[in-house]
Amino acid sequence: MADSRTRRALVSVSDKTGLAPFVKSLVELGFEILSTGGTAKHLQSEGIDVVDVSAYTGFPEIMDGRVKTLHPRVHGAILGRPDLPSDAAALAEHGIEPFELVVCNLYPFEQTVARPGVTPEEAIEQIDIGGPSMVRSAAKNHAYVGIVTNPTQYPRVLEELQSGGLSMEFRRELAAAAFELTAHYDVAISQWFAKSSRGEEGDARPYFPGVLHLEFRRQSELRYGENPHQMAALYSDPQPAPSTLAAAEKLHGKELSYNNLLDLDAALGIVREFEEPAAVIIKHNNPCGCGVATAAADAFDRAYAGDPVSAFGSIIGLNRSVDLATANRLCEPDRFIEAIIAPGYDADAFELLITRPKWKTNVRLLRLPSMSHGRDHAPALRSISGGLLVQERDDEEDPRDDWEVMTKRSPTDEERRDLAFAWKVGKHVKSNAIVLARGQSLLGVGAGQMSRLDSAHIAAHKAGERAQGAAAASDAFFPFRDGLDQLARVGVKSVIQPGGSRGDEEVIAAADEHNIAMIFTGRRHFRH
């Protein structure tokens, strides 16, 4: 900016965090401050002299403040290029005085619509018009005007101004942040309109808009992806639900890897299925152990006993805070753990985990206090080449009223408990999935096989002699009796499956031959 011109800043914000000290510093740097409505009153109450925008434009605010900055003297001052002869002539002809800075953030639309009971009229009044116009104008003309949209930017803005002026690199950063702000704002408004137009019953139905706008913010760059030759980063929802992995806090350990995050999410999905204390051990996105008990330590013992060999280098999930008894189990010799996620850690348990075992400096400890509070209502997203698949999450509890005993023998109460346990775990196992359980403990898993019979073989092999009297869950129907015959040969005594195959009668007859109690749930849980 030429020294002959007065330095001017236009200040109009809803979020007034740190505003007064920032503007006082601008005044000390020789800036004249122009402002509007509530912002002007706030600054004046802090002893800062401001010029009201209405005085500058010569036109009053009208329509309850809906129109105040939508004026040529405002936007000309933002968009003008003083070193361009034609712009300089227009500025002089109309008495327009350029701004060096625009400090602006927007009406709190998202906070307003998030309030219970907010009316459509209240929501609509929080749709900012003048603010986004000023922000976009300044961002477009960032070579001449610095656009400041977030209080976190104030310190660096002052630092650069005090050092002689905003660098072009920083101006571009500010412009990028400004356009991110307005893009996010417009998406929030469009999504609210789309949702509200569906009526009261619409909240319970999935909604797939004609155009899907997604916004995720980079949380961290990862060392690499699934393999060392792949680059990767973690992006999170701007406001992740408190029960989701993106909201978890890492308390200790090395940086999380791409594969760690996938496995932690799998662990979280399983342990939040249970109200009683539960533990799960994850390897390659599948559970190799899972247990439920009256105490977290006992639940972990049951989980670890499921497959101690596969548990080496695993991810652990618990739905109770880690106490000293559980930490002692985790730290037993020859146990290596990559990461743990839990609602919390008792102080003595935390100290033990980070000091006793060989992996003490490396293990990642994550805390997620709200892991069991409600569903994650965000849709499940999955990329394919050239596109994106979107679906509802499969995280609702199955209606037990739909379960039907299909065999001559009904399961005992103990078998029902194990069947329910196996069913909850099985919905999180890669298809084709067969899960064997007994005593609220996972005994064997067959996962990701092309044949359900192969999954049954693997689950039986993993369980070994423990399969005697076990309960089995299948994520989809048995197309033929061979899978059920395989389970019967190793001693399985009860089965839960969706049913719905053309071969159901053959499978039911096979179950009766083996004196197996079998339940049909009527709901499939494929997980590809």
Measure the CA–CA gap between 205 and 189, rounded to whole angstroms.
20
pLDDT, residue 201, reads 44
- What are the tokens at 466? 């423990």
Domain 401-520 in CATH: superfamily?
AICAR transformylase, duplication domain (3.40.140.20)
pLDDT, residue 3, reads 44
Measure the CA–CA gap between 169 and 153, rounded to whole angstroms.
14
- What are the tokens at 522? 């009527």
Handedness of CA 194, 15, 145, 93 (dihedral sign): positive
pLDDT, residue 190, reads 84
Where does 88-139 show beta strands of DSSP type E? 101-104
pLDDT, residue 374, reads 62
For the chain, count helices (H), then strands (E).
Answer: 18, 21
pLDDT, residue 504, reads 96
Measure the CA–CA gap between 193 and 203, rounded to whole angstroms.
13
Measure the CA–CA gap between 35 and 37, rounded to whole angstroms.
7
End-to-end distance of the chain based on CA atoms, in angstroms?
59
pLDDT, residue 107, reads 87
Which residues are CB-contacts of 428 (< 8 A; sequence separation ≥ 6)? 266, 269, 270, 273, 286, 287, 527
Question: Domain extents for the chain?
Answer: 7-194, 246-367, 401-520
| Domain 7-194: assigned CATH number | 3.40.50.1380
Give every residue of the chain whose pLDDT is below 50, as ranges: 1-4, 200-202
In CATH terms, are 246-367 and 401-520 the same topology?
yes
> Any idea which fold 246-367 has?
Cytidine Deaminase; domain 2 (3.40.140)
Confirm whether pTM is higher than 0.85. Answer: no
pLDDT, residue 205, reads 54
Phi-psi sector, 76: left (phi>0), alpha (psi -120 to 50), beta: alpha
Q: Known catalytic residue: 71?
A: no
CA-to-CA dists, residue 336 to 340, 357, 398, angstroms: 11, 8, 35
pLDDT, residue 294, reads 97
- Identify the active-site residue in 16, 24, 140, 254: 140
pLDDT, residue 199, reads 55
Contact present, 335 and 313 (Cβ < 8 Å) = no
pLDDT, residue 202, reads 46
Type of residue at 364 = R
Adjacent-strand bridge partners of 520: 404, 497
Task: Give phi and psi for 522, each to the nearest 5.
Answer: 75, 5
Contact present, 494 and 515 (Cβ < 8 Å) = no
Q: Known catalytic residue: 284?
A: yes
- Identify the active-site residue in 71, 195, 252, 284: 284
